[in-house]
């Protein structure tokens, strides 16, 4: 299962090395001179952590890629923002849901 987790490699100017990260394990990271070594390092670290968690009976995070998503979530915004979005949606002739969904898709 550890190969289903969400990994990211980024550069750390502070450390002068690449950093391997795992979204499901935000407290873990791995520094290495190359992106490939950073990825391999964080994957091993996650696999070891999952093994330790399994041994100790701790709950193991489900990979984001294996989770089911309904496509619905609620967001609270200030009343002024709500009003502004409602006006924009009406002016564009679309539902507020469609307007916000399109904006989020551009940001993602």
Residue 73 sits in the same domain as residue 48: no
pLDDT of residue 2: 58
pLDDT per 10-residue tile (average), the chain, 108 residues: 87 98 97 98 97 97 93 92 93 93 86
Contact between 9 and 39 (Cβ < 8 Å): yes
Q: Structurally, how many domains does the chain consist of?
A: 2
Residue 17 sits in the same domain as residue 55: yes
* Whether the model pTM is above 0.75: no
Residue 34 sits in the same domain as residue 73: no
Residue 51 sits in the same domain as residue 8: yes
Tokens of 98: 């469609």
Q: 104: which residues sit within 8 A by CB, 6+ positions away?
A: none
First-to-last alpha carbon distance for the chain, in angstroms, is 26
């Amino acid at each position: 299962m550890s190969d289903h987790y969400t990994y990211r490699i980024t550069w750390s100017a502070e450390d002068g090395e690449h950093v391997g990260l795992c979204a499901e394990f935000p407290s873990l990271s791995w520094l290495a001179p190359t992106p490939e070594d950073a990825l391999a390092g964080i994957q091993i670290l996650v696999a070891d952590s999952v093994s330790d968690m399994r041994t100790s009976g701790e709950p193991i995070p489900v990979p984001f890629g294996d989770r089911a998503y309904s496509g619905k979530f609620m967001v609270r915004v200030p009343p002024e923002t709500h009003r502004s979005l409602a006006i924009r949606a009406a002016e564009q002739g679309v539902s507020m849901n469609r307007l916000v969904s399109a904006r989020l898709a551009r940001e993602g």
